[in-house]
Amino acid sequence: MTTRSAYRRHVTETLRLGLPLAGSLLAQFSVGVVDVIMMGWYGVDALAAVVLGSSAFFVLFIFGSGFAHAVTPLVAEAAAKGYEPEMRRVTRMALWICAGFAVLILPLTWFSAPVLRALGQEAALSDQAQIYLRIVGFQLLPALTAMVLRSFLSALERTRFIFWITILGAAANAALNWVLIFGKLGAPELGIQGCALASLLANLLIMAAFLAHTGWARAIRKYALFHRLWKPDPDALRGVFRLGLPISLTLLAEVGLFSAAAFMFGWIGVNDLAAHGIAIQIASATFLVHLGLSQAATIRAGRARGKGDQAWLRGGALTATLISLVLALIAAGVFLAVPEVLIGLFLDPDNPQRADIVRIGAVLLMIGGVFQLADAAQVMALGLLRGVQDTTVPMLIAGVSYWGIGLPASYVLAFPMGLGGPGVWWGIVLGLLASAVLLSGRFWRRASRIEGADGP
């Protein structure tokens, strides 16, 4: 295979896998956006409770999802080697771990009000958030089960099904929100409880679709994924836990950085916090494209590792990185060209604070152009390292970069140096840039150690 044809194939396969994954992530992202919009229509107090409750739930879900993410590289490598029993073993034990995690967390969501009050939230708001969390706490099991099966199917490169089932789930959530929050079509008006029930039912639907597909689809059922599901497998369980825990902690470190940034914006002012919230929503939407490509890179790196093919691993990694870079440059150009227009889309034209929020948000979004490049590079490097099953040192690198560099830099630039909100974002950029450089360097050093034949 010539170099040109090899890279053409790399581009085709990366986009074939990555675009449906990115699309499914954007559809999943839209669920939260729809929840916020509909609860905003219902009432400000209810909206605040749902935002608080969903933020708490998201942290718990992120922690559990690391074990589901570990399935992708493990199954991808086993598939490349033709080890079908290994594919089944690691997936089953990931289901075990996620189920155990969901059960252990349930009491925390059921008795969440005291925890939220201890974290400084108002008593009335904490009580309302607990109403939401007592319902969505039961959502953790179907959500993590679906995530494990999503990772299994991703490793088998069946990403189109993932895209369409996520679209179905997002549509179901929106419809159920409309019915249950506002009491449409003869249903009772449930408000906060309706929003929580809609999310729970939508996730149960998604889980059922994944279970049906992996259990009965002709191309998948040969793996007998649920055969003797009840049988413990200590070796596979340890393997999933060892790979998944660092992924969970890495995800928590990044989520924690952005949560801390929101707190710092709260110290600056209400309009600054609103502008940050809008700008981060826009940046998050474009980031999900890079995350989808990163997940595709994990799959392809895992398969190359399984074949011991250094040339294919390096070629695929370089291609995915360059595609992500081009898309980041396009997004950065848009952010720099029309930041006021993008921020203004989220605000009522009659809002008296609109002009001030747009002015602040536009500055943040222009910094977001640089933000895009650093964030895309670090998430791609993380995806590639997961593909070669390297997660512990990347966890340490991410922790130091986010919390040892990014967070202190944000505080110093924002407050002692007087840059305010832009200083917070420049600090985040420094943290992400440090992570990108260190993680990328580690991957390329690791890639050179894989021995094998040249070619796919």
The three state secondary structure string of 209-249 is HHHHHHHHCCCCHHHCCCCCCCCCCHHHHHHHHHHHHHHHH
Predicted pLDDT at 450? 62
Helix (H) or strand (E) holding 80: helix 71-81
Give residue-wise pLDDT tens across range 231-270.
888 999 999 999 999 999 998 888 888 878 877 887 787 7
Distance, in Å, from the CA atom of 321 to the CA atom of 376, rounded to the nearest integer, reads 8
Distance, in Å, from the CA atom of 6 to the CA atom of 15, rounded to the nearest integer, reads 14
Distance, in Å, from the CA atom of 329 to the CA atom of 452, rounded to the nearest integer, reads 34
Average pLDDT value for residue range 138-149 = 94
Give residue-wise pLDDT tens across range 108-135.
999 989 988 887 777 888 898 899 999 9
Q: Say whether pLDDT at 453 is over 60.
A: no
Comparison of pLDDT for 45 and 144, the residue scoring more: 144
Distance, in Å, from the CA atom of 411 to the CA atom of 427, rounded to the nearest integer, reads 8
Q: Say whether pLDDT at 435 is over 60.
A: yes
Model confidence at 348, in pLDDT bands (50, 70, 90)? low
Token output for 160? 């189109």
Closest alpha carbon to 258 in 387, 424, 41: 424
Distance, in Å, from the CA atom of 79 to the CA atom of 74, rounded to the nearest integer, reads 9
Could you list the beta-strand ranges (E) of 254-338.
none
Amino acid residing at 283: A
Predicted pLDDT at 454? 39
The answer to whether residues 322 and 293 touch, using CB atoms and an 8 Å cutoff, is: no
The answer to whether residues 283 and 371 touch, using CB atoms and an 8 Å cutoff, is: yes
Give whole-number Cα distances, 400 to 253, 317, 403, 437, in Å: 9, 24, 5, 13
Closest alpha carbon to 112 in 123, 103, 101, 102: 123
Please list, in sequence order, all residues whose beta carbon lies within 8 angstroms of the beta carbon of residue 353, skipping any fewer than 6 positions away: 270, 271, 274
Predicted pLDDT at 271? 79
The answer to whether residues 69 and 151 touch, using CB atoms and an 8 Å cutoff, is: yes
The answer to whether residues 360 and 275 touch, using CB atoms and an 8 Å cutoff, is: yes
User: In degrees rounded to 5, what are phi and psi of residue 220?
Assistant: -110, -35
Would you call 155 exposed, middle or buried from its count of C-beta atoms within 10 A (0-12, 13-18, 19+)? buried
Model confidence at 452, in pLDDT bands (50, 70, 90)? very low
Comparison of pLDDT for 52 and 187, the residue scoring more: 187
Number of H helices, E strands in the chain: 17, 0
Q: What angle do CA 139, 158, 250 make, to 5 degrees?
A: 55
Model confidence at 273, in pLDDT bands (50, 70, 90)? confident
The SS3 assignment for 349 reads: coil
Please list, in sequence order, all residues whose beta carbon lies within 8 angstroms of the beta carbon of residue 174, skipping any fewer than 6 positions away: 31, 34, 38
